[in-house]
Homo-oligomer: A and B are copies of this chain.
């Protein structure tokens, strides 16, 4: 195997640094900055250099700090997850530092490098919607820091994962609307590169078919969920010959925007159009009518993720399994016709 013959000289040549720098970095010398170390470790990993020895030589003093990586700070579900993580963490003497990727793959890579450099004891991460590969996760793991993924995960990366049953969330939402007599159900979805949204999409099609309802291609839109995308989708639907009589949105912000756009068109919710959301936030209770939604188990997801991470940090337990958390569909007035 060519890989076994990789030497420190090969790594040095690739990075245009001295072999002594590579050697010092892999031996965790204090003369080399943490950023350089991480770069050299990543390159070594990419070239196939045996990093097991390196990982163990990077024996860290505990900082009792856990890094949490989320797409956005200002989000009800993620803040509930972090509250759950903190519940477990604070009792065990760990502190939490959070970073947001803003759904950028590049930021996600930089944040993982930063967390490695600041010597966190472990990381809990929800991946950005742009993330379609796992090299950066493998590089991070090569540094010997445990990781748990939640919600938006990559199943081709080996670690413990905690996810929501996204397929069932969509299935229950469609079934509820079908039972209430809605026939032309539309789905305002997220980018299909992300596991959540691809599971929603599959469940949407499957469940409509089972219910004997039509799937019009234009009623199933995969968008980036920006306000512009949402306005464009609603504009198309409300001006079409066949209009939807129910809309399922990928998240609660989209539901709030759609609700406002429908009211501005003087259409009544739920009589003319029903509306349901696949995530929740308190604002859904403050608008009229209140919006039906999937209540995600944020706190529970956070507690379980932190418990798994602690098992790995403190007891060296390494697993590659997936825990699926249950959710609740809460039916409110936006999808409940009084006829």
A residues touching B (Cβ–Cβ < 8 Å)? Answer: 30, 33-35, 61-65, 67, 72-76, 78-79, 82, 86, 90, 95-100, 107, 110-111, 114-115, 117-120, 253, 256, 259-260, 263, 282-283, 285-288
Contacts and interface: CB of A to CB of B under 8 A. Distances in A.
The list of the 5 closest CB pairs from A to B, nearest first, reads A74-B79, A283-B283, A95-B114, A97-B97, A118-B118
Contacts of A63: 34, 114, 117-118
Nearest to A227: B282
Contacts of A96: 99
Q: How many copies does the complex hold?
A: 2
Contacts of A74: 73-76, 78-79
A98 B95 contact: no
A303 to B, nearest CB: 16
A114 B98 contact: no
Contacts of A34: 61, 63
Contacts of A114: 63-65, 95, 97
A213 to B, nearest CB: 29
A96 to B, nearest CB: 6
